[in-house]
């Protein structure tokens, strides 16, 4: 399964992409024609109208592009959690680790970030473990080492370690840790 990680773009690249998606070049041509017609039709003593129409056209194009860009960036920011694709034996350097989970690409995670693992059970998200991001691969896939698991969920973790697809599909790896564990009470 080939994954590509989309690199984040700068402001002007985002603006240009929105401009192109909104057919900015044809709209600019139409605006230019409107400006030229307005300029030629207005009388010589109304210089303000000659300048107002082209400025208004440019401002409207910029405003529409900014609105489109903000909607695109907002929807990109509301991404879902990545899917757990598979489980493997953890690296030997972590002898206490339970598993190594391979997640799909996501901008929500960073190297060494703490994670919490949940299992969706009849509408509830049941906390089943803790981990951390071991690495983010060049193809964007995320490796999470599971370091702590709830002892009452041993049978579930056996299914996870055996790559039971029905169980992996119901796992959620969140880029946060419950407050109780940070405070040392969990």
Domain membership of residue 24 (yes or no) is: yes
pLDDT at 4: 45
Same domain for 95 and 37, yes or no, is no
In 3D space, the residue among 132, 127, 123, 76 whose CA is nearest the CA of residue 103 turns out to be 132
Domain membership of residue 48 (yes or no) is: yes
Q: Which two tokens stand for residue 177?
A: 């840790």
Which of 77, 104, 130 is the C-terminal boundary of a domain?
77
pTM of the complete model: 0.59
Which of 26, 58, 77 is the C-terminal boundary of a domain?
77
Strand order of the sheet with strand 114-121?
84-88, 99-103, 142-149, 124-136, 114-121, 171-174
pLDDT at 30: 84
Domain membership of residue 149 (yes or no) is: yes
Confidence class for position 186, pLDDT limits 50, 70, 90: low
Counting Cα atoms < 13 Å in the Cβ hemisphere of 164 gives 11
Host H or E run for residue 32: helix 24-41
pLDDT > 70? residue 92: yes
Give the tens place of pLDDT for each residue, 112-133. Answer: 899 999 999 988 999 998 999 9
Give the chain's length.
Answer: 186
pLDDT at 17: 87
Share of the chain above pLDDT 70, in %: 84
To the nearest whole number, what is the mean pLDDT of the chain?
83
Q: Which residues span the domain enclosing 43?
A: 11-77
Same domain for 66 and 93, yes or no, is no
Q: Convert 37-97 into a string of H (helix), E (strand) and C (coil).
A: HHHHHCCCCCHHHHHHHHHHHHHHHHHHHHHHHHHHHHHHHCCCCCCEEEEECCCCCCCCC
If one counts the domains in the chain, the total is: 2
In 3D space, the residue among 77, 79, 84, 61 whose CA is nearest the CA of residue 15 turns out to be 61
Give the tens place of pLDDT for each residue, 39-54. Answer: 777 766 556 767 777 7
């Amino acid at each position: 399964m080939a994954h590509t990680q989309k690199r984040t773009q700068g402001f002007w690249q985002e603006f240009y992409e929105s401009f192109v998606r909104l057919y900015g070049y044809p709209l600019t041509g139409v605006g230019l024609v409107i400006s030229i017609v307005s300029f030629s039709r207005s009388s010589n003593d109304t210089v303000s109208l000659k300048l107002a129409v082209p400025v208004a056209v440019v401002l409207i194009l910029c405003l529409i592009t900014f609105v489109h860009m903000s909607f695109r960036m907002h929807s990109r920011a509301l991404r879902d959690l990545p899917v757990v694709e598979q489980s493997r034996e953890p690296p030997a350097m972590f002898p206490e680790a339970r598993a190594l989970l391979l997640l799909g690409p996501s901008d929500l995670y960073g190297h060494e970030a703490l994670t919490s693992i949940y299992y969706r059970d009849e509408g509830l998200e049941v906390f089943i473990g803790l981990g951390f991001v071991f690495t983010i691969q060049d193809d964007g896939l995320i490796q999470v080492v599971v370091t702590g698991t709830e002892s009452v969920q041993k049978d579930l973790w056996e299914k996870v370690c055996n790559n039971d697809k029905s169980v992996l599909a119901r796992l959620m790896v969140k880029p946060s840790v419950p407050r109780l564990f940070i405070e040392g009470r969990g």
